[in-house]
Chain A
Amino acid sequence: DGGITQSPKYLFRKEGQNVTLSCEQNLNHDAMYWYRQDPGQGLRLIYYSQIVNDFQKGDIAEGYSVSREKKESFPLTVTSAQKNPTAFYLCATQVGRGGTEAFFGQGTRLTVV
């Protein structure tokens, strides 16, 4: 069953803690992306990676970190430096470098308690 798997679906974090959101894909897509979505808002790009062992900052990278050690995996760490981390996080993949649709996972809802 091909697709993008994000886990966990819901995540609660205490202030001051780092948490890592998982994104795994078996679509063999080169490019992977992390977006943040706040209520009533569009998607904002956090980080993206177009090839293994390489990634670039998006528009709102502060307080986040990523790695791309394997083609299938692009985990996102929300660090304690992110002052307002409560949001819906979406991972996406894309064939090649662009000019094609992005496929999305089902998202992880992160809440700071």
Chain B
Amino acid sequence: GESVGLHLPTLSVQEGDNSIINCAYSNSASDYFIWYKQESGKGPQFIIDIRSNMDKRQGQRVTVLLNKTVKHLSLQIAATQPGDSAVYFCAEDSGGTSYGKLTFGQGTILTVHP
């Protein structure tokens, strides 16, 4: 998994498998979290978000889990497809005087093999 400030990890899966990408955040005051997907040479695209008053949120083929006790965020992708191959970033909104300023993790490279 990834953590803000650490090296870029990689995850390789077979098409049709489920993927789990992890992210550890450091600021216990963060109250809003986002997962982004970035394809090579493009800007990040929003995947799913979650607020700190929730511990799970589901989208189409994606689920985000938030564990505030251990400051951990994960993105689950069901039935992973080759088109899911990209770099995935988590971002946290630190709130307070920095409200609206997102802090990004280093990213995880997901490679899906046909």
Contacts and interface: CB of A to CB of B under 8 A. Distances in A.
Interface of A: 4, 6, 31, 33, 35, 40-45, 48, 50, 58, 90, 92, 94, 96-107, 109
The 4 tightest CB contacts between A and B, nearest first, are A98-B100, A104-B43, A43-B104, A42-B104
Contacts of B41: 107, 109
B46 A103 contact: yes
B13 interface: no
Interface residues of B, number: 28
A33 B101 CA distance: 9
Contacts of A99: 31-32, 51, 93, 99-100
B43 A106 contact: yes
Nearest to A45: B101
Most buried by A among B51, B93, B95: B93
Given A98-B93, A99-B32, A102-B34, A50 B100 contact: yes
A58 B8 contact: no
B106 A101 contact: no
A101 B42 contact: no
B31 A40 contact: no
B34 A101 contact: yes
